[in-house]
Structures are given as C-alpha cells and as structure tokens.
Chains A and B, each alone.
Chain A
Amino acid sequence: MRFASEFRDAELGRAVRREIAALVRPGRSYKLMEVCGGHTHTIYRYGIDAMLPEGVELVHGPGCPVCVLPMGRVDDAIAIAEDPAVILTCFGDMLRVPGSAGSLLEAKARGADVRVVYSPLDALAIARATPDREVVFLAIGFETTAPSTALTLRRARTEGVGNFTCMCNHVTIAPPLRALLDSPELELDGFIGPGHVASVIGARPFDFITREYGRPVVISGFEPLDVLQSIQMLLAQLAQGRCEVANQYTRIVTWEGNERAQEVMEEVFSVRESFEWRGLGEIPHSGLRLSDAYASFDAELRHAVPGRRVQDPPACECGAVLRGLIKPWECRVFGTACTPERPIGTCMVSPEGACAAYYNYGRYEREREGVPS
C-alpha cells in the first residue's frame, strides 16, 4: 500500500540502525520513552527493540487509552449498560477491559445491550434508528479520537437526536507526561512523541518537556522506519548536546496542529479539574468532560453511575508497566493468569497495550534467547 511499504524497507532500516549504533557512546545507557501505544505495537511487531544496540532501552509510556482507563470508570459504563432502556456502544477494545465485577462483554452475556461500533458516527446512526431507546457512546481516547466524538455530538445537536448521549473518558497527553517527569521513580533521556496526537494539537504543546525538564522530544510516525529514524534523531540530539522538539512525522504533523479539530474540541469539551488514570492516580486537568453547551448529551448526567474509585487487583502490575518501571514480562501474572483471552489488566487488552503487544510478538524472541516469558 502506498505510504506504508516505503516505511517498511528492511535495507533502509539496517542503514538507520547503523547510524543509531554510531551515535551510542560506549558504556552509556539511554532510556527513551515511546509515549504512544501505537509505537509500542510497532516496536514489538517489527522487532525494533531487538535491533537496538546495547545500552539503548525503550520504555513504554501511558499513551494507550484503553490501558489507562481505571476500573471504576468501567464499572460506571457497566452500570449504564445494565439499564434495560440503554444501548451502550463502544469500540471493540473496550469489551474485555475488566472492571471490579467483570467486563462489558460479561454484562453483554448477562443480557445488557452492548454493541461494538467503528466510530461515534455509527453510534449516532443506531440512535437515529432506535428512537425508543437511549443510546450511549462510551468515548475513550486522547486528542486523536476526541475530535470524532466532538463532531458527532455537534451533529447530534444539529439534528436534534435526543436519545444520544456520551460517557466521556477522553484524556489529554501533556498532563501525564508532566506527572511522569515529576516522578522521582523514572529517569528518562528523551521521548518518542505521539504523532497522531500531535497531528491534532501540534508539536508545540510538547515544548515544555524541553524547556522545563531538559529532555529532547521527537514527534514520530508509526511505521518501523519512522520509529527507527526518531530514535536516531533523539540520539543525535543527545550526542550533540541539543534539546529540542523535533518533528520526524512532517508528512502529517505541524507545529500548530489542526486548528479545525482544536476548534470543535474547544466547543464540545471542557477540561475536568482532575481525572483518575490507571497506574498514575489522579492527574489535574488531564481529562475532558462535555462542555455546558453540550450537557444534555452527557450520559453521566442522564444516567446514575456508581462513580467509585476501585483498586486494581493486587496481582496486576499494569500500573508499574504504564509508569515504565517494569517490562511486561516482569509482571508476575504475564502470560499465565493474564493473557489477551482472559486479561487481568488493561495493558493485556488493547493491541496497543504493552503487555498485549509483547505477548503477541516479543515473547517468542525472548523464549529463543532462553529468557522465561
């Protein structure tokens, strides 16, 4: 396919790998965080971590929207879904995400009307087709999916679709990065920035990482050559003593981002005072709710939800994986009690979750090396 095959060229990949090796100072270790779950998926799928020279470590960040959703929010969604008047619509990733008493898939098995949709537009179509039911869209995601939710809500308001609401779990990327940088637990040398989020908000909002924390950032695309080149660009900055927000993903990302997308988000959403993140706890100004102008479309105002904070299961170490403190295979239940078929933690659910990506691709490599997975 055009625009994909060019960025999967093995020979070019080997050439970039040689450039990376030339930039690594012997005896020095480099810890680079890939912020986005899409990058984590690419890294494991194409074996990029195995291509890197000794001393260069990739740390997985908090950029998988399914992974960071706390159990209490899943419980809230299940409570809405169990109302017989409701059709709850969500992305397929959400079905298996565990709450404290099961998942949406289990609620569906018990009789709740839970339907998988490709987009909020599909959820709105269900609402138009079933005016006697309340249709709730379970919205998740960073600034990449938020514009779609916003556009659909604007469309619902224009059309006067009164039986359509949204349970908003949209989050923003900058606050959790600041929380990670403020944490004494983790020492990072640089960031592979999230290209799709940056396509909406621009590269500019990542500037605080260089100015306030002295860490370079390279906004990256999602093909294997994109990620390899971004690593090369980060290492080049470190080697030359530079600290900048660089843009590898120039075919999509601009410094200012997509103003039209930002405008519709501004109209439909407001920033929450605080939002709970799995593994990271409450982070100020990190979540979005519907703005007052769209309050009539807010599912949490129309339907009763428990709104409880729920602790993760003791065996699950998703929190440490999401903070980059451990690798997926270092979790005690990885690949045994916790698998994509029967996940305990969210990181094993989404294809963008570090545990699922590693389970699907990376574990074979480690098994060949004789490392227990």
Chain B
Amino acid sequence: MRVVHAGAGRDLAVCIGEDGARHEVDITIVGAVRPGEMLIVHAGAALGREAA
C-alpha cells in the first residue's frame, strides 16, 4: 500500500491500496513513514517497506 498521510498519530498512517481504498494502518513495526512510500501491509499492520 502507498502512504498518503503519515501524520495520523499514535503510530498510524493512512494508506491507499491497489483497489483505491484508503485505510488506517498501524506503523508501529516499521517506524516513521513518508507520503509516497510503499509498505507491505497485512490486516492493517505495516510489516515492512517495499525495497526501492
């Protein structure tokens, strides 16, 4: 999923999926993210970053 808003607070970010749907994602595991970054997300938790 792509990060669209990184300042959702409490270790959360808003991300958009391939289907265009936006979801709140827990980023505790990956730490700080920036808009535009691609994350591996499962069930609403980011588990890693896509290698650039």
Binding site for B on A (CB under 8 A): 1-4, 91, 118-122, 141, 144-145, 147-149, 151-152, 155, 196, 199-200, 251-252, 258, 260-261, 264
Contact = CB atoms under 8 A, between A and B. Distances in A.
B48 A258 contact: yes
B26 A152 contact: yes
A120 B38 contact: no
Given A199-B47, A199-B48, A251-B51, A144 B42 contact: yes
Given A91-B43, A196-B40, 15 more contacts: A3-B38, A118-B21, A119-B23, A121-B12, A147-B42, A147-B47, A148-B45, A151-B26, A151-B29, A155-B10, A196-B47, A200-B47, A251-B51, A252-B48, A261-B47
14 contacts: A3-B38, A119-B23, A119-B43, A147-B47, A149-B43, A151-B28, A151-B29, A199-B47, A258-B29, A258-B48, A261-B29, A261-B47, A264-B28, A264-B29
Nearest to A121: B44
A244 to B, nearest CB: 22
Contacts of B51: 251-252
B42 A148 contact: yes
B8 to A, nearest CB: 11
B35 to A, nearest CB: 15
Nearest to B18: A1
Contacts of B10: 155
A14 B24 CA distance: 39
Interface of B: 10, 12, 18, 21, 23-26, 28-29, 38, 40, 42-45, 47-48, 50-51
Nearest to A261: B29
A88 to B, nearest CB: 17
Given A4-B18, A147-B42, A151-B28, A118 B47 contact: no
A3 B43 CA distance: 20
Nearest to B24: A121
Contacts of B28: 151, 260, 264
A85 B24 CA distance: 27
B40 A199 contact: yes
Nearest to A125: B24
Contacts of B12: 121
A220 to B, nearest CB: 15
Contacts of A264: 28-29
A3 B24 contact: no
A341 to B, nearest CB: 22
- Identify the interface centre among A4, A119, A258: most chain B CB within 10 Å of its CB: A119
- Identify the interface centre among A122, A151, A264: most chain B CB within 10 Å of its CB: A151
A122 B44 CA distance: 9
A317 B44 CA distance: 33
A91 B25 CA distance: 16
B44 A260 contact: no
